[in-house]
Chain A
Amino acid sequence: MSATARYVFAVARGLRAEDLTGTAGLHGAPLRVVEQGGLSAVVCDVDLAEFGEQPLIDNLEDLTWVERTARTHNEVVWRVAGCATCAPLRLVTVCSDDDSVRAKVDALRADLDEVLDRVEGRQEWSLKVLVPRRPAEELATAPSTMSGTDYLRRKREAAEQRRGQGEDAARAAHELDEVARAHAVASRRLAPQDPRLSGRSEAMVLNAAYLVQADAHEPFRTAVLTASERHRDVSVELDGPWPPYSFAVLG
């Protein structure tokens, strides 16, 4: 009874349909490949009651729904990127039917070719630099005998110390970013992550993505880890290699 549409996960070059066996789409729907001009769009059927324009507005405000969808989306993209040159799409790209998918691929052909050329033989690394927050200064000795002026002076000193720490952390982040960029063909800064989503209480001073050539993964990793040894007052998180999400910005 309900109408279906096509959810598009990624567009790939050099993908064979059999590469996708064993991986399912959303709600277990089978993955299909829609070919157009030598490119392969990886799709699955979805229900418009869930993925239509109006239902999406509500669903995209629901973190549980977003998480479920994002995880499946990522599994599919991961699989595709493992078998072919892959331009991953952002969450929720929906077309009405196969012809509509083909039309989109045609319309975005130039961009798609550019992205696929850019990411071919390359993968993404994620680098994050975090600074532990200073614990709130406690009103240590004899708070009731402290003058208001002294209290404010202590607060200002604490604020200045925090500022200094922030500057040190920014310097560390800058150096690590430079080291990473020296071993990458492209890089992109992302916004620091919302602590409620990351579950981390530390301040994030760097959230960046790097596009690294296949034969440069080891040197990249080693260089960044070595550099992080010189900055032991910050936390460094290096993750990868991943499909090149951050370098497939389309439209």
Chain B
Amino acid sequence: MTVTASTETTVSTGASQVSLVDLLDRLLGTGVVLAGDVVISLAGVDLVEIRLNALLTSVRADMARPGRRTP
């Protein structure tokens, strides 16, 4: 069973038509990454920063621990 989706082939020119992410790829060099941090602000005031990358790393390390069995 193959899932098919319509092919979208788009061609565009012009400075303003370049997407931001394409610009960042080129203007910021090697692979732009959103750090996986979320700053939560309320009513315009930054309050809390959550480091999602750190969370993911610690969860994966835990999950990957071998030999954990319920007795």
On A, residues with C-beta under 8 Å from B are 66-67, 70-71, 73-75, 78-79, 88, 90-91, 126, 132, 134, 165, 190-191, 193-194, 196-199, 207, 209, 221, 225, 228-229, 231-242, 245-246
Q: Which residue, B17, B22, B30, has most C-beta atoms of chain A within 10 A?
A: B22
On B, residues with C-beta under 8 Å from A are 2-13, 15-34
Whether A228 lies near B3 (C-beta < 8 A) is no
CB distance from A125 to the nearest CB of B (A): 9
Chain A residues whose CB sits within 8 angstroms of the CB of B23 once the complex forms: 70-71, 73-74
Q: Give me 28 A-to-B residue pairs in the complex whose CB atoms sit less than 8 angstroms apart, sorted by A's number.
A: A70-B20, A70-B23, A70-B24, A73-B27, A74-B23, A75-B16, A90-B26, A90-B28, A91-B27, A132-B5, A134-B3, A191-B30, A197-B24, A197-B32, A198-B21, A221-B11, A229-B7, A233-B5, A233-B7, A234-B5, A234-B7, A235-B7, A236-B7, A236-B8, A238-B11, A239-B11, A239-B12, A239-B17
Number of residue pairs A-B, CB distance < 8 angstroms: 100
Whether B21 lies near A78 (C-beta < 8 A) is no
Whether B34 lies near A197 (C-beta < 8 A) is yes
Chain A residues whose CB sits within 8 angstroms of the CB of B21 once the complex forms: 193-194, 197-199
Chain A residues whose CB sits within 8 angstroms of the CB of B24 once the complex forms: 66, 70, 197
Whether B20 lies near A233 (C-beta < 8 A) is no
Given A225-B9, A238-B10, A245-B27: A233 touches B34 (CB 8 Å cut-off): no
> What is the CA–CA distance of A151 and B65 in the complex, to the nearest angstrom?
24
> What is the CA–CA distance of A73 and B16 in the complex, to the nearest angstrom?
11
Whether A74 lies near B19 (C-beta < 8 A) is no
> What is the CA–CA distance of A240 and B10 in the complex, to the nearest angstrom?
10
Q: Which residue of A lies closest to B19 (CB)?
A: A198
> What is the CA–CA distance of A228 and B9 in the complex, to the nearest angstrom?
8
Q: A209-B26, A242-B13 are in contact. List 17 more A-B contacts (CB 8 A).
A: A73-B27, A75-B15, A90-B26, A90-B28, A91-B27, A132-B5, A190-B25, A194-B21, A197-B20, A198-B21, A228-B9, A232-B7, A234-B5, A236-B7, A237-B9, A238-B9, A241-B13
Contacting residue for A236 out of B3, B9, B16, B25, CB 8 A: B9
CB distance from B53 to the nearest CB of A (A): 12
Whether A91 lies near B28 (C-beta < 8 A) is yes
Chain B residues whose CB sits within 8 angstroms of the CB of A207 once the complex forms: 25
5 A-B pairs closest in CB distance: A191-B31, A245-B26, A78-B15, A91-B27, A197-B21
Chain B residues whose CB sits within 8 angstroms of the CB of A239 once the complex forms: 10-13, 17-18, 22
Chain B residues whose CB sits within 8 angstroms of the CB of A190 once the complex forms: 25, 31
